[in-house]
Amino acid sequence: MTTSSTTHKPKWVSYLIKFSLAVFWLGLWQLAYKLVGSELLLPSPARTFHRLFELAQTGEFWLKSFFSLLRIMEGFVLGLLSGIVLGALSFVFKPLGMLLSPLMSIIKSTPVASFIILALVWMGKNRVPVFIALLMVLPLIWANVKEGIEQTDGDLLEMAQVFKLSKAKKISHIYIPAVLPYLFAAATTALGFAWKAGIAAEILSLPVKSIGKELYHSKIYLESVDLFAWSAAVIVMSILIEKLLTFLLGRAKSVT
């Protein structure tokens, strides 16, 4: 007897719940706007999304969004690759893992603003968001890759030893499948951190053609509608990027 129809909600129910939640929060926003009574302090949802629609019709909006995305994704990819390599090496060479552990703890505990200010001293303003995104990603990926390798099924390793599998086959057939769930979970979380920290880095470093620079100017010139519109753009792009990454990781899982 099939019970999937009773145990799983139809997709339309899920969409309806999400729509209802969106309406609730937008309604709360509208109520707050009415209570505040000042567009300078809190623009209305309608005015914010109308401004966002206006911005989206300009080439400058897409150019600035593209460069911000490019910088942050560069940092994300560098952090991802560095974390994978260092995580694997930390498992193979235990002293390296012990050496890196305090550094990763420091990176996770230190306020992002401190790193941004230091980065402004060390490098050009266009490289600061890349560096900050890398720092946000590195500890998460390092810890999860290391943990994934350490949690590899011992029975499988014993079996590989009995059948005298080569190191290459052990890595491809045992270690990589064991690490992937940890890596995929860390990558999804790290992307959100990289995006938020990267935009914050842009606000302080003001690189050319960036969302962060627009947010900073909106605040300086008290253009609250623009500030909310660009913030809404950041949120929408963050959701879309995360959905894309989840889709790609899902495809990768099906292949492996």
- Distance between CA 141 and CA 108 in Å, rounded? 12
- Distance between CA 246 and CA 185 in Å, rounded? 9
64 with 202: CB under 8 angstroms?
no
Higher local confidence (pLDDT), 176 or 155? 176
Q: How many helices (H) and strands (E) does the chain have?
A: 12, 0
Domains and CATH numbers, the chain: 59-91+99-255 (1.10.3720.10)
Handedness of CA 143, 145, 147, 149 (dihedral sign): negative
85 with 228: CB under 8 angstroms?
no
Residue 12: what residue type? Answer: W
pLDDT digits (tens, 9 = 90+) for 98-136: 999 999 999 988 889 999 999 999 988 899 999 999 999
- Distance between CA 125 and CA 117 in Å, rounded? 10
Dump the DSSP string for 11-47.
HHHHHHHHHHHHHHHHHHHHHHHHHH--TTTS--HHH
Kindly indicate the confidence band of residue 45, based on its pLDDT and cuts at 50, 70 and 90: very high
By mean pLDDT, which of 160-164, 174-178, 231-235 is the weakest?
160-164
